[in-house]
Amino acid sequence: MKTRRLVFGLYADEAGLAWVKGIVVAAAQARGARVVAWEEERETLAGGVPVAEMYDLLVDQWGHENPGQDPGERNPVQLRAGVVCSLRVWRDVRKAVLRRMCPEGVAPHACRVPWMAV
């Protein structure tokens, strides 16, 4: 089996980050895959792009969905998970994670943790 990566841009505090990690672990385990590595980048991505610049639209999204509310400890972060599985299982895990992070689909709603799949 090969280690494959799931990569998400998030606008989250520590509780939101833990929520997303829990979703990834549950989706992987349900399909017989293992999460073997986590990486979080909060400063600069490969190529020198600042994380805050890459995911600034998530900050804007949160502000639009939560007008007048204090963002608290939320910050842009790129979360990378290493998952040992086949390509087919990786696709299933990714779809399951996206459905769980956004159960409302395209209907208007406020995201618990604004995210972007990379």
**pLDDT tens-digit profile of 66-77?**
999 999 999 999
**pLDDT tens-digit profile of 51-102?**
999 999 999 999 999 999 999 999 999 999 999 999 999 999 999 999 999 8
Identify the pLDDT of residue 87.
Answer: 98
Count of beta carbons in the 10 Å neighbourhood of residue 61: 17
Burial class (CB in 10 A: 0-12, 13-18, 19+), 100: middle
Count of beta carbons in the 10 Å neighbourhood of residue 46: 7
Give the tokens for residue 113.
Answer: 């943790």
Q: How is the chain split into domains, by residue range?
A: 2-67+74-117
Q: How far apart are the C-alpha atoms of 37 and 49, rounded to whole Å?
A: 23
Domain made up of 2-67+74-117: CATH architecture: 2-Layer Sandwich (3.30)
